[in-house]
């Protein structure tokens, strides 16, 4: 692998927002930006979701009904040390922002917000949450530039879908370690993905086809995949 400033592999995000249309728009926008995203609409669902899934970033509306966003934030900070919290709120005073940060939130964004700013802040928090890897990953004649979102085999540009790019990035970042299909599903997809489907296998097959010969991705029987 090349040296240089660090970058992170795909970030797993939970969006917690009680306005359903806004929550879904945020989720779709973050997925388009390359994140693996789950969306829930209340605090109780947020706490339940974090029991079984290690999220890198939680985008948390402060003004949630039922279990308030402040309570969710405190629980996340107490129980998930590596999870970063970006708190959203319509409150705009300095006191509100300070109070949110004192609850343990890592960042604070006031509504309404510009979506590129939300993406930049989630990306920045993700870099703090995940183990860092070099921005350019190489193995043999394959090079992937995470920052520019491009990949090459030799001098040939690889036209990859977002999921194919994320799988290749994750396998390259594993640096020869065997990665199970379950791990790929957890890191690259979201909770909507059916663990009993052939999603990972199908994506790996398409990726192999685009990488062409000689073979790069090895299937390790009953264990997973490695480069």
Question: Rounded to whole angstroms, how far apart are CA atoms 139 and 174?
Answer: 11
pLDDT score of 90: 78
Q: What pLDDT is stored for residue 94 in this prediction? A: 62
State the Cα torsion 101-106-108-113 to the nearest 10°. -170
pLDDT block averages, 10 residues each, the chain of length 227: 45 93 94 89 92 89 89 87 86 64 82 91 80 75 88 94 89 90 80 70 93 92 90
Name all domains of the chain by residue range, CATH numbers in brackets.
Answer: 12-129 (3.40.50.2300), 136-226 (1.10.10.10)
CA angle 193, 61, 109 (to 5 degrees): 110
Token pair 């685009």 is at which residue? 210
- How many Å from the N-terminal Cα to the C-terminal Cα in the chain? 12
pLDDT at residue 152, as a whole number: 95
Query: What is the structure's pLDDT at 66?
Result: 85
Rg of the chain taking only CA atoms, in angstroms:
19
Question: Which has the closest alpha carbon to 142: 188, 173, 113?
Answer: 173
pLDDT value of residue 82: 82
Quick one: pLDDT at residue 195?
Answer: 62
The pLDDT score that the predictor gives to residue 143 is 94
Task: Report the alpha-carbon distance of residue 75 to residue 96 in Å, rounded.
Answer: 19
């Amino acid at each position: 692998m090349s040296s240089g400033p660090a970058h992170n592999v795909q970030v797993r995000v939970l969006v917690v927002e009680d306005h359903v249309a806004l929550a879904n728009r945020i989720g779709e926008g973050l997925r388009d930006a390359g994140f693996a995203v789950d969306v829930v609409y209340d605090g109780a669902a947020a706490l339940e979701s974090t029991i079984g899934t290690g999220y890198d970033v939680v985008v948390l509306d402060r003004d949630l009904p039922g279990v308030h966003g402040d309570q969710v934030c405190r629980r996340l900070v107490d129980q998930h040390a590596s999870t970063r919290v970006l708190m959203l709120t319509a409150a705009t005073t300095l006191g509100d922002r300070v109070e949110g940060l004192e609850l343990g939130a890592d960042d604070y964004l006031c509504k309404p917000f510009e979506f590129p700013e939300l993406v930049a802040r989630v990306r920045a928090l993700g870099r703090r949450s995940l183990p860092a890897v070099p921005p350019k990953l190489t193995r043999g004649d394959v090079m992937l530039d995470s920052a520019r979102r491009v990949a090459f085999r030799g001098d040939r540009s690889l036209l990859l879908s977002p999921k194919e790019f994320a799988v290749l990035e994750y396998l390259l970042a594993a640096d020869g370690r065997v990665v199970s299909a379950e791990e790929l599903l957890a890191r690259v997809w979201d909770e909507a993905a059916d663990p009993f489907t052939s999603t990972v296998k199908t994506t790996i097959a398409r990726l192999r086809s685009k990488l062409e010969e000689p073979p790069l991705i090895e299937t390790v029987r009953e264990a997973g995949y490695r480069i």
